[in-house]
Amino acid sequence: MSFRALQVTQQTENGAVTAHEARVRTLDDDALEPADVEVDVQYSALNYKDGLALAGRPGVLRTSPIIPGIDLVGRVRSSADPRFMPGDHVVLNGDGIGETRNGGFAERAAVRGEALVVVPDAFTVHQAAAIGTAGFTAMLAVLALERGGVTPYSGPVLVTGAAGGVGSVAIAVLAKLGYQVTASTGRGDSEADYLRELGASAILNRADFAEPGRPLQKGRWAGAIDAVGGVTLANVLAQTTYGGVVASCGVAGGAELPATVMPFILRGVTLAGINSVEAPRSLRQDAWSRLARDLDVHLLDTMTSTIGLEDAQGAAGRILAGQIRGRTVVDVRH
């Protein structure tokens, strides 16, 4: 059987991409790798990583040709894994799809049952795609704060990269849980109302975190979820109060960490790393159960826009430029 897919063909040399083409094509089933669960994909989503892959940036796509898309949501067509039945609605985030193997920007996928989660009743398939890797990652970060003992009574928490996908879901969840959330954004002029609607009680300009600062600064945050990295993360660590937890999940501002050990040894701060791609099954299930309980679907809808497969390439440039608000669902059938 044939299906439509957005496929990338590229060449690399010493880690640099030397040729790159992304095109919607009609492929046959044999284009998919063998795997235990076949899915009729309904939606994928555009994540920062997908933006990199579609723009021909190095580091995401590990093989060619490949279908990008690190998220997929759809209906099980057939399954050799007894945990899934034909007709089940399932969601998959990461696990190498759209990086080392074919991903979600296609009407069909063959995936590992081990990483699949049944879409919780609280969500439609479209909403599950809207959550996607970014929302799943935001919840993994919230769980890391909780594991470190950060509660709504501990003090204010900070979310950086606030108007992006991870940031938007993190704010909505933290605010619903009762945390006092400060949002750091470069788009205060246009997105302040949006961020307040999600639940942010204060909004800071991300430029406040962009210049190198002292190793220890005035303690302001009991916890933080950082999607930016670089000098921003160093400053956030330096402003975290005694015993606080900073969950590091992103590199939108840079991959370096020009920090000192002072926040760790003088304030007992914990830096918690978040990796959504390789999250084990039990953590995936916990995170999706908590999303079902702690994410307001009406807020989710306000942060979501939908595009077709043909539009994904154009949207890639916008997500890399930090111009996309919240989450973008990709309807692979349009």
Is 186 a binder of ligand NDP (CB under 6 A)?
yes
- Going residue by residue from 204 to 243, which x/- string records binding to ligand NDP, judged by CB under 6 A? --x--------------------xx---------------
| CA quadruple 140, 200, 157, 214: dihedral sign | positive
Backbone dihedral angles phi then psi of residue 107, each to the nearest 5 degrees: -80, -10
Size of the site for ligand NDP (CB under 6 A): 31
Q: Collect all residues with Cβ–Cβ distance below 8 Å to 82 and sequence separation of at least 6.
A: none
Site membership for ligand NDP, residue 49 (CB under 6 A) = yes
Measured CA angle at 225 (ends 113, 44), to 5 deg: 35
Q: Which of residues 100-119 bind ligand NDP (CB under 6 A)?
A: none
Residue of 6, 172, 274, 332 that binds ligand NDP (CB under 6 A): 274
Which of 118, 192, 216, 251 binds ligand NDP (CB under 6 A)? It is: 251
Give the 3-state secondary structure of residue 81: coil
Q: Which is nearer to ligand NDP, 206 or 290 (CB)?
A: 206
- Positive or negative, the CA dihedral 124, 327, 236, 228 is positive
- Residue 254 or 308: which CB sits closer to ligand NDP? 254
- Check binding of 272 to ligand NDP (CB under 6 A): no
Closest CA to 195 of 223, 171, 160, 229: 171
| 284: contact with ligand NDP by CB under 6 A | no
By the rule CB under 6 A, 300 interacts with ligand NDP: no
Query: Does residue 26 bind ligand NDP (CB under 6 A)?
Result: no
Smaller CB distance to ligand NDP: residue 130 or 324?
324
How many Å apart are CA 277 and CA 20, to the nearest integer? 24
DSSP helix/strand/coil, 116? coil
In the set 68, 69, 103, 165, which binds ligand NDP (CB under 6 A)?
Answer: 165
Whose CB is nearest to ligand NDP?
A: 164
Which residue from 54, 97, 162, 303 is in contact with ligand NDP, where contact means CB under 6 A?
Answer: 162
Tell me the C-alpha distance between 197 and 105, whole Å. Answer: 31
Residues that bind ligand NDP (CB under 6 A): 47-49, 133-134, 137, 161-167, 185-187, 206, 227-228, 249-253, 274-277, 319, 322, 324
